[in-house]
Amino acid sequence: MAEQFHSALRAAIEDSGLTLDRLRHRLAQRGIRVSVTSLSYWQQGRSRPERADSLRAVHAIESILGMPRHSLAGLLGPPRPRGRWTKRDRYYDGILGPAEALAEAVTPMLGPSDSKLAVFSQEDSVLVGADRTIRSVHTRLVVEATADGPDRHLAVYCAEPDTDSAEIAVKAGTNCRLGRVRRHADAPVIAAELLFDRRLGFGETHFFDYEVTVSAPAISFDYRRGFRYPADVFLLCVRFADDVLPARIHGFTQPKPHACVIVGDELAVTSGHWVHRAERAVKPGVIGIGWEWA
């Protein structure tokens, strides 16, 4: 029956008249994040929903498309064996998507420094342009060495589906320089090394910053930061262009991989079109700000 799932899903979407982007938006309104790429793969049979959050999305799709309960989910067979990820790779699984593409881009870049740095504080400043897309993200970090020897930080960015990874650029700022950069060939994922000027000793802190820009982005509905390890302080700020402002802006949290997304209260917008979230004692998972366009 599993082979029938993608055909039934494709037919139901075509009958509804919804584009994949509109279906994704409708799911986002319910607090469920699924990329257009994933939806496309599901209806082509290239992949299928297996995790708890993906199955929740399938049930929501049944409701959105006016289908009987379990009419799609019932066509899925038992889960297939998972891939050959190492324990370290799985830290990315379920935190950001597309998970497999993220692992393929990041895993070759992991090194000894990856497990020897803790985030003391982090600030992400996101700029959303008049075209309703994320144009840049400026990140400031203070990290602390949890062992002797770390000399680099691995920056990872996942853009909106349908964005070419070649359009994503990482620029090193204060107290770091750009090392290796790896882009995924088929997904909007980039991983970049930010090299320090020396190795840190146990307990030492280091501050630096970098910027990610997207030259040909797709329309954005949220910004999310995935944490694989705990962090002391995280500040997330989003500024919207002067001539565009969403109808609704809210915070959301995914407390652990594969858990349901928790949508919080609406966020206040300043006169300068800024919204923000400030969090202490951040645990592994996702923290983000989402918005709905009128």
Domain boundaries in the chain? 2-75, 89-292
pLDDT in the model for residue 188: 83
Tokens read off for 218: 């797709």
Instruction: Quickly state the pLDDT bin for 85 (edges 50, 70, 90).
Output: very low
- Please provide the CATH number assigned to the domain covering 2-75: 1.10.260
Indicate the length of the chain as a whole number.
294
pLDDT score of 194 more than 80:
yes
Q: Which whole number is the average pLDDT over 261-266? A: 78
Mean pLDDT for all residues in the chain: 84
pLDDT in the model for residue 77: 59
- Rounded Cα distance, 238 and 252, in Å: 14
| Higher-confidence position of 153 and 55 | 153
pLDDT in the model for residue 87: 38
Q: Residue 261: which of 23, 54, 58, 38 has the closest Cα?
A: 54
pLDDT in the model for residue 145: 92
- Contact yes or no for 75/5 (Cβ under 8 A): yes
pLDDT in the model for residue 184: 84
Architecture label for domain 89-292: Sandwich (2.60)
Instruction: Quickly state the pLDDT bin for 197 (edges 50, 70, 90).
Output: very high
E strand intervals along the chain: 117-128, 134-145, 152-158, 168-172, 177-183, 189-195, 205-214, 222-227, 231-240, 248-254, 262-266, 274-282, 285-292
Instruction: Quickly state the pLDDT bin for 2 (edges 50, 70, 90).
Output: very low
Q: Which whole number is the average pLDDT over 3-22? A: 86
- Contact yes or no for 262/252 (Cβ under 8 A): yes
Instruction: Quickly state the pLDDT bin for 173 (edges 50, 70, 90).
Output: very high
pLDDT in the model for residue 141: 97
Q: Please state whether beta strands 285-292 and 222-227 pair in parallel, antiparallel, or not at all (unpaired).
A: antiparallel
pLDDT in the model for residue 88: 40
pLDDT score of 91 more than 50:
no
pLDDT in the model for residue 280: 92
% the chain with pLDDT above 70: 87
Q: Which whole number is the average pLDDT over 81-109? A: 56
